[in-house]
Amino acid sequence: MLGAIIGDIVGSRWEFNPTNDYNFELFSDKNSYTDDTICTIAVADAILHGSNDFGQYIHSWCRRYPNPMGGYGGRFAQWVMSDNPRPYGSYGNGAAMRVSPVAWASNSQEEILHAAKLTASCTHNHPEGIKGAQAIASAIRNARILREQYGGKWGKEEIRDFVRETVWKFPEYNIDIQIEKVKNRFDETCGGTVPVALWVIQNSTGFEDAIRRAVSLGADADTLGAIVGSIAEAIWGIPEWTKNKAITYLPEDMKSVVREFHNRTKNNKPQSAIIYGVEYPNPDTVDWVPEVVPSLTLKEQQYKTFVRGYTPDWECRYAPYRFKDWLYITRSGFWLKKFCFERCDDGLYHLSKLYTVKDMAGKDLIKTVLIEGYFKPQIYGWQYNTTNVETLGKRVDVDGEE
């Protein structure tokens, strides 16, 4: 959740004095925490106390800090000051900026979506407010899973696919955004903020880059920074110097919650993998059986194609996938084969290790995938000619030209 707090602090000085300067000063004596940080801390504190009454904790923490930088929004301020607070149908982006702790406290999609709804509905009980919170919580969870899969080595394509996968679950959000339509536009709704946050993530290359892009849009700088920061932390992690600097802006009781929450959740590793939009159990939990290794060699281009993975033919439906240091063959939510190749002095990649699930022993799925799989042209713009193993890796454009 520290990513959300950092995004809030960095964006705080620009909330009512927007900038389009990407190279703005990250931290200064003009920065501070705002209501975004207070509410995020409150959600984390509720989790630490095993409570689902997020409204009680948000109300208590906001009462404790009645005058944060930038103050509280009008209706939310009335909610804070009320002795009998009730949700007021908001669909503002406050629902999305405070939700990040729930995505670190659990690995279950169902639990996270339920908790996200509870964090929002104590104030933002409009369907759009709840959806905004759930979308960001889901994005953070997916990012944690995929970072574990890729070992932190994300490329532009992986990040693009991750964002598209998140939006696929929330199809009302359009992330095909033109910058001139969101630049210098102050939109405090979930519908106007969440897609922009995902768009920023899709176009970023690291944690600081994402924060700078969010803040320099000249929009709702602190809240957009908080939402983007919460996802960016899950994708890229946070530089140590940034953590250390940001924490100095917080009072001791907030620091205590941050430290305790980190210690409580740091070993909470994702137990799933996400492949072509399908959620799989973590392959490390599968009962793998060693199998006799057949003779199989690949040329370098064939190997690279296989390692990259591709969407399977509908009739084949077996798909290769890389998870950490191993290659796998999957089908319809199940892991089937686990193996690796070794590059030898002849310049070829030789199959060196092979494991299987019990009911797939003896089935030569690797060659099946090599022969029958292909890149879908409607997704990648080109496909492989894979009539046999030897031609795998031959690039063929959609119009048939190599």
For CATH 1.10.4080.10, the residue range(s) in the chain are: 2-265
Q: Lowest-confidence range among 78-92, 187-201, 233-247, 332-346?
A: 332-346
pLDDT in the model for residue 402:
34
pLDDT at 62 over 90: yes
- Which long-range contacts (C-beta less than 8 Å, at least 24 apart) are formed by 321-327? 321/275, 323/149, 323/273, 323/283, 324/149, 324/151, 326/283
pLDDT at 308: 64
Q: Is 82 helix (H, G, I), strand (E, B) or coil?
A: coil
pLDDT in tens, 34-57: 999 999 999 999 999 999 999 999
Q: What is the pTM of this model?
A: 0.76
- Lowest model confidence (mean pLDDT) among 62-76, 95-109, 263-277: 263-277
Q: In terms of C-beta distances under 8 Å and separation of at least 24 residues, what long-range contacts does 271-277 make, across chains too?
A: 271/107, 272/107, 272/145, 273/145, 273/149, 273/323, 274/142, 274/145, 274/146, 274/149, 274/165, 275/319, 275/321, 275/330, 276/311, 276/319, 277/165, 277/168
Q: What is the pLDDT of residue 314?
A: 44
Q: Find the range with the poorest average confidence among 33-42, 151-160, 290-299, 335-344.
A: 151-160
pLDDT value at residue 267: 84
Q: Which residue has the higher pLDDT, 334 or 311?
A: 334
- What's the fold here for domain 2-265? ADP-ribosylglycohydrolase fold (1.10.4080)
For 135-183, the DSSP string reads HHHHHHHHHHHHHHHHTT---HHHHHHHHHHHHHHSTT------HHHHT
Give the Cα separation of 93 and 132 in Å (integer).
Answer: 7
Range name among 21-30, 163-172, 227-236, 309-318 with the lowest pLDDT average:
309-318
Q: Which pLDDT does position 309 carry in this prediction?
A: 58
* pLDDT tens-digit readout, 17-33: 999 999 999 999 999 99
pLDDT, position 181: 87
Return the DSSP state at 109: H
> What are the φ and ψ backbone dihedral angles of 268, each rounded to 5 degrees?
-85, 85
pLDDT at residue 243 greater than cutoff 50: yes
pLDDT digits (tens, 9 = 90+) for 160-210: 877 877 777 788 888 888 888 889 888 889 999 999 999 999 999 999 999
pLDDT over 80 (residue 321): no
pLDDT of residue 233 exceeding 50: yes
Q: What is the pLDDT of residues 385-399, one digit of tens each?
A: 333 333 333 333 333
**Burial class of residue 187 in the structure, from the number of CB atoms within 10 Å of its CB (0-12 exposed, 13-18 middle, 19+ buried):** middle
Residue 312, pLDDT > 80, answer no
